[in-house]
Amino acid sequence: MSRLIPVLKLNTANRFAGPGMVVTVVVVSGLLTLLVGAVLRLVLDLPAGAVAEGLSHNQVLYWWPGIAMLVFAAQTIATGTPLALALGATRRTVWWGSVLTFVLLALLAAAVLTVLLLLERATGGWFLGLPAFDVGVFSTGSAAGAFLAAFLLYLGAQLLGALFATVYYRGGPVALTLSIIGTVVAGLGALLWLIAAGPDGTVAGQPAGPGAPWSPGAELLAPVCAALVLLTLVGWGLFRRVSVR
């Protein structure tokens, strides 16, 4: 573990691009959602129930932090690898030190989201009855469930970004394009499988009705965890033979 710490420090040397980016993008994503809800409720005077129901399906907290962390991880591998190797690190320590970085940043993002979610619940939806963080897969009914969902989502985004950067190192733009297409196809296949596993054409774990929490069970968590392990191992299998020029 001690050999990974220098890589961790290198990856997070720019505080804003690492921990600062994670905190900022999660907070801003939620605040933008709340702003939209406030405009719909207070300015346009739409029914509170309809606005809250619409916001509960909002996916901003999936995409904006997820894409930001995917890009960060790709840049970490692409720009940090040559420097780390030049400083004497091995490919093993660079990869696993980067994975440690991704895990810690995912934990930070999940912690920030969970704290804001708890504050949102304590204030009754920021005193407006509007959900900004207690949405989608994060609305599991428990803080632990929200934390776990956020951690898995944001860790997966970073591992995918690291894998894309490694594929680019190994095979260039053509291999990267094919890997992105393959990822999209695999994601659609996984979505279809989850829909097939859920009741009445809904995704497994999806709320049974308005206001009901998500309830992901082993049928959802086990494949997600397996996918994260697979991403990590495939990435390492490719990264260990990268040629840095």
Q: How far apart are CA 192 and CA 2, in angstroms?
A: 42
**Torsion of the alpha carbons at 94, 95, 97 and 99, rounded to the nearest 10:** 160
Residue 190 clears pLDDT 80, i.e. is over it = no
Q: Which residue has the higher pLDDT, 120 or 15?
A: 120
Q: Looking at residue 229, what is its pLDDT?
A: 94
Q: Which residue has the higher pLDDT, 187 or 119?
A: 119
pTM here is 0.87
Going by pLDDT thresholds of 50, 70 and 90, the confidence category of residue 219 is low
Q: How far apart are CA 101 and CA 19, in angstroms?
A: 10
Q: Read off the pLDDT of residues 4-52 as tens digits, 9 standing for 90 and up.
A: 888 998 888 877 778 999 999 999 999 999 999 999 988 888 888 888 8
Going by pLDDT thresholds of 50, 70 and 90, the confidence category of residue 210 is very low
Split into its structural domains, the chain has a count of 1
Q: Is residue 245 included in any domain, yes or no?
A: no
Residue 188 clears pLDDT 70, i.e. is over it = yes
- The answer to whether 130 and 38 have CB atoms below 8 angstroms apart is yes
What value does the mean pLDDT of the chain take? 85
Residue 74 clears pLDDT 90, i.e. is over it = yes
Q: How far apart are CA 28 and CA 65, in angstroms?
A: 9
Give the type of residue at 28: V
Going by pLDDT thresholds of 50, 70 and 90, the confidence category of residue 97 is very high
Tokens representing 37? 């809800």
Going by pLDDT thresholds of 50, 70 and 90, the confidence category of residue 221 is confident
Residues spanned by the domain of 216 = 5-239
- DSSP H or E stretch at residue 26: helix 21-38
Q: Is residue 244 included in any domain, yes or no?
A: no
Q: What is the mean pLDDT of residues 116-141?
A: 89
Q: Looking at residue 161, what is its pLDDT?
A: 94
Q: Which residue has the higher pLDDT, 187 or 227?
A: 227
